[in-house]
Chain A
C-alpha cells in the first residue's frame, strides 16, 4: 500500500467532491431555488445521477464475482437490466407512473399503491415489507465496499464494515440524505470512466477481445469436478439445462434481478421526480449506455479474471479468491491494474455506497414514518420524526449486524433475494395499477399478501440455499427442505411467487366488485 499516493488521491477526490457540493449548495439555497434549478438541469447531470443511484457496489463487486464463477452467460442479466430496467421501465412504466402518481398525490411507493386501490392496508403492509426487507440489501451493499477496502488497504474486514458504517452515518446525519444531484453526477462520471478503463485495460492485458475470450474458452477443462457435477461447463458456455448451476444462474440471478428491478420502491419513486416525459425519453438513451458500460464491463471483467489468475498463478478466479466470490473483483483489480486506479476505484465504490445507502435509508425512514406509523395510528406529524429516526437507527443496526454474520459469496445472492421479495409483493399490484382498470382492491390485497407469503414460505422451507442455512424446517422435523425432488429446491422463490400473486390478483378481482368509474377516471386522468 502506498500511503502517499493514497493520501493524494483521497485529497484530490475530497476537494473535487467538496467543490461540486459547494457549487450545488450555492445554487440551491432555498427549497424553491432547488426546484427551479432542477428545471434547467442538463440531461447529462440528470442521467449520471440516475446511474449513481441505481448502480451500487452490489452490481460491480457482487455480480462481477458471480461472473467470475458462472462465466459470461450472466451477460443475459445485462440484457435484462437494459431491456427491462431501462427501456420497459422508462417507456412503459415510467411515464404512466409519473402521471398517475401526480394525479393521486402519492409521495411514496406504498402510498401510490394504496391510493390507486383505495386501501390503507396496502400502505402499511407494503411499508412493512420494505422496512423489513431492505436491511438485507443495505448490508450486502456495505459488504461490497468493505471487501474492496479489505483487499486494497489490507485491512480487517470487520473494521472495514465499521468504518463504512460510520462514514455513511455521518453523511446521513450531516443532511446528505437528500442526494445532491451534482455530487451524484460526479460519482456517476467517475464510475463510468473507471469501468471503461477497467474493461479496456483487461482486454488489452489479455491480448484483445477475441483472443481473451478464446483463452477463456480454452480454460473449460479447468472447471473443477465439483462444479462440473452441478452443471458448470466453462466460462464461455451456458451451464447444462436444468442443472443446479443453470437454475441458480437463470432463476435467481438473471430473472430475479432482471425482472425484480421493476418493482423496486426507490426506482418507482424516481419516476415521480422526473420533470417531464421528454426527460424520460432522453433518459432511455443515456441510461441505456450507462448500464451497458457499467454492468457489461463488470461481468466481462469478472469472467475474464479467470484468464488473468490462471496465467499468473495457475488458479481459477474462485480459487484465487479463496472460495469467496465477493473477493474476485477486488483481488483482480488490485493485482492487475495500476495502484492509482485501485485507489480511485475504491473511492468511487465508497461514494456509490454512500449515495445508495442514504437513499435506502430515506425510503426506509418514510416507510416507517409515513406508511406504517401515520397510516396505522392515523396521526400526522406529532411523533413522526422521532419514530422515523428510531426506525432508521434500527435499520442501520440490523444492516450492520447482518454484515457481520452473513457468510462469504453473499452479495449477489442477497441482492437477488431482496429483489425477489419486492417482485413477489409488488409486481402484480404495480402492473395492475398501471394497466388494468378492472383490478380491485381485494384482488390486489389478496395477490400481494399471498405473493409475499408464498415467497417467504419458499425461502424458509423449499429453496435449498436459504432453507438449509436458516434451518427452521430442520428444527421442526429434521429435514433440510420440504420438497427434496429436483428441481424444486433450486427454483428461486420469485419464479413461483410472482405468477401466484398475478393469478390470485386477477381471479379475486374478477369476482369482486369493480372500482368506481369516478375513481378510475381520477387515476387515469390525462393517460
Chain B
C-alpha cells in the first residue's frame, strides 16, 4: 500500500506517527492548559530563590 506517494510502511508510518505525536502534545496541552498551578505561589517562590542563587553562582564563577 502506498500512502502519500511513499511505498514503505516503515516510512509513511513515521510520517503519520510524527503527526499523531504532535497531536498528542497539543491535546495534552489543551487539557492541562490551566492545571498545575495549585500552589503556584509556592512554586514561583521556589523558582525565585533558585534564580537568585544561580545569579550569585554566575557572579562568583563566571564573573558576569
Q: How many residues of B contact A (CB 8 A)?
A: 47
Could you say which residues of chain A place their CB within 8 Å of the CB of B22? 82, 288-289, 292
Does A381 reach chain B (CB closer than 8 Å)? yes
Other-chain contact of B32, A215, A272, A281 (Cβ < 8 Å): A281
Other-chain contact of A107, B6, B21, B53 (Cβ < 8 Å): B53
A366-B64 in contact (CB<8A)? no
B60-A237 in contact (CB<8A)? no
Other-chain contact of B50, A210, A272, A277 (Cβ < 8 Å): A272
Could you say which residues of chain A place their CB within 8 Å of the CB of B64? 175, 177-178
Could you say which residues of chain B place their CB within 8 Å of the CB of A165? none
Does A138 reach chain B (CB closer than 8 Å)? no
Could you say which residues of chain B place their CB within 8 Å of the CB of A95? 36
Could you say which residues of chain B place their CB within 8 Å of the CB of A107? 50, 53-54, 57
Could you say which residues of chain B place their CB within 8 Å of the CB of A385? 60-63
Q: Whole-angstrom distance between the alpha carbons of A237 and B2 in the complex?
A: 11
B47-A273 in contact (CB<8A)? yes
B8-A238 in contact (CB<8A)? yes
CB under 8 Å from chain A, chain B span 11-35: 11, 14-15, 17-19, 21-22, 24-26, 28-30, 32-35
B61-A370 in contact (CB<8A)? yes
B14-A79 in contact (CB<8A)? yes
B18-A296 in contact (CB<8A)? yes
Minimal beta-carbon separation of A387 from chain B (angstroms)? 8
Does A285 reach chain B (CB closer than 8 Å)? yes
Given contacts A178-B64, A274-B47, A285-B26, contact A75 B5 (CB under 8 A): no
Given contacts A72-B6, A385-B62, contact A284 B21 (CB under 8 A): no
Dominant secondary structure of chain B at its interface with chain A: helix
Other-chain contact of A75, B11, B25, B35, B51 (Cβ < 8 Å): B11
Q: Whole-angstrom distance between the alpha carbons of A238 and B12 in the complex?
A: 10
Minimal beta-carbon separation of B19 from chain A (angstroms)? 8
Could you say which residues of chain A place their CB within 8 Å of the CB of B8? 73, 236-238
30 of the cross-chain contacts (CB-CB < 8 Å) are A31-B52, A73-B11, A76-B14, A76-B17, A82-B22, A91-B28, A101-B50, A102-B47, A175-B64, A177-B64, A213-B4, A214-B5, A216-B5, A217-B5, A217-B6, A236-B7, A236-B8, A237-B7, A238-B8, A273-B54, A278-B40, A281-B28, A281-B35, A282-B29, A282-B32, A285-B33, A286-B29, A288-B22, A292-B22, A385-B60
Other 8 A-B pairs with CB < 8 A, given A87-B21, A87-B28, A381-B60: A72-B11, A79-B14, A102-B46, A107-B54, A276-B37, A276-B40, A286-B29, A288-B22
Which residues of chain B have a CB within 8 Å of any CB of chain A? 2, 4-8, 10-11, 14-15, 17-19, 21-22, 24-26, 28-30, 32-37, 40, 43-44, 46-55, 57-58, 60-64
Which residues of chain A have a CB within 8 Å of any CB of chain B? 31, 35, 38-39, 71-73, 75-76, 78-79, 82-83, 86-87, 91, 95, 98, 101-102, 105, 107, 175, 177-178, 209-217, 236-238, 272-289, 292, 296, 362, 365-366, 369-370, 374, 380-381, 384-385, 388-389
